[in-house]
């Protein structure tokens, strides 16, 4: 078995759990390859007896990997997918962060988690990915033209709102006068979109949601659409440019650039342990049902 590991940060309080993970994998004779920068952080804070192989780019990965561990929070998983991309390698998120809608494995459960994974006591939850293209074509995004949570357009360097002219399959939908517009996948429905009043969607829902950010036209409401729609956004405003964010990656585009968003031809496979589910995560993270009267 071959497993990759990625993390963005090293927290002193999580160091013991990283050690537990590496020891558990080594005990089971599992081949481990660690992202280069994260391996350097581990080496800097801990004495590691074993020498580990490392990777730095997507091009160094292949289909020989059985699993990927993402150590951190949901933001770390969003970075992990930029390495995994369309390889289909299942990702297991170990939560050393805060909320953790995607990183659902608690750091205190590492030893039990390894046993469950080795015993194949988990299932795969495929997650829809959204991609972006532009008219005219732009080299701004490169090969990382996709997002797991959302693609959003927003105002830049101004307190004035922008107008986002929106069409679905070339049919005009609406002009949003707002701070911006979020195009969210089902996975992203519990993120930025939710904080702007969007609905929660089950991960296997074949839909996307358009959620305006602080709309001035108050009758504009979040809209759930089928995920086979092609979305075109044209932005106008007092500034000559606007921001486009793909999860946590932000770019600047000129106003004359049209953004085209649609479902990607591949999905990201998330590992869900037996006994866990999206509904259980909702109840736990959003405190559904937590009422003193119950």
User: Among this protein's residues, is 74 annotated catalytic?
Assistant: yes
**Tens digit of pLDDT for each residue in 126-173?**
999 999 999 999 888 989 999 999 999 999 988 899 999 999 999 999
Q: What is the pTM for the complete model shown?
A: 0.92
Residue 285 located in a structural domain: no
Please check whether residue 72 is in contact with residue 96, taking contact to mean a CB–CB distance below 8 angstroms. yes
Which of 26, 43, 66, 74 is flagged as catalytic? 74
Q: Which residues are annotated as a binding site?
A: 74-75, 79, 149-150, 179, 190-195, 214
> Which residues of the chain, if any, have pLDDT below 70?
45-49, 99, 291-294
One domain, residues 148 and 238: yes
Residue 275 located in a structural domain: no
Q: How many domains does the chain have?
A: 2
One domain, residues 106 and 183: no
Q: Which residues are annotated as a binding site for NAD(+)?
A: 74-75, 79, 149-150, 179, 190-195, 214
DSSP strands (E only) in the chain: 2-7, 31-35, 53-55, 67-72, 91-95, 105-106, 122-135, 146-147, 150-154, 162-168, 171-178, 180-184, 207-213, 223-226, 231-236, 241-246, 249-254, 258-273
CATH number of the domain enclosing 17: 3.40.50.10330
Residue 283 located in a structural domain: no
One domain, residues 17 and 140: no
Per-residue model confidence (pLDDT) at position 8: 86
């Amino acid at each position: 078995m071959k497993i990759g590991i990625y993390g963005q940060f090293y927290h002193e309080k999580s160091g013991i759990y990283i050690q537990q993970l590496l020891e558990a994998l080594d005990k089971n004779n599992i081949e481990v390859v660690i992202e280069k920068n994260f391996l350097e952080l581990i080496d800097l804070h801990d004495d590691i007896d074993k020498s580990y192989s490392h990777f730095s780019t997507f091009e160094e990965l292949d289909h020989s990997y059985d699993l990927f561990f993402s150590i951190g929070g949901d933001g770390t998983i969003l970075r992990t997918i930029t390495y995994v991309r369309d390889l289909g390698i299942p990702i297991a998120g170990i939560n050393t962060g805060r909320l953790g809608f995607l990183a659902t494995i608690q750091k205190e459960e590492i030893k039990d988690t390894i046993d469950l994974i080795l015993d194949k006591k988990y299932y795969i939850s495929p997650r829809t990915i959204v991609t972006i293209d532009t008219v005219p074509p732009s080299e701004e995004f490169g090969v990382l033209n996709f997002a797991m949570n959302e693609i959003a357009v927003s105002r830049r360097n101004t307190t004035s709102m922008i107008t986002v002219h929106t069409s679905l399959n070339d049919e005009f939908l609406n002009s949003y006068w707002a701070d911006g517009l979020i195009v969210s996948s089902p996975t992203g429905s519990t993120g930025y979109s939710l904080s702007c009043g969007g609905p929660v969607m089950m991960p296997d829902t074949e839909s996307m949601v358009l959620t305006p950010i602080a709309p001035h036209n108050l009758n504009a409401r979040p809209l759930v659409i089928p995920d086979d729609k092609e979305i075109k956004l044209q932005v106008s405003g007092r500034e000559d440019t606007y921001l486009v964010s793909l999860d946590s990656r932000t770019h600047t585009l000129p106003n004359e650039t049209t953004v085209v968003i649609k479902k990607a031809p591949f999905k990201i496979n998330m590992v869900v342990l037996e006994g866990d589910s999206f509904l259980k995560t909702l109840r736990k993270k959003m405190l559904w049902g937590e009422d003193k009267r119950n």
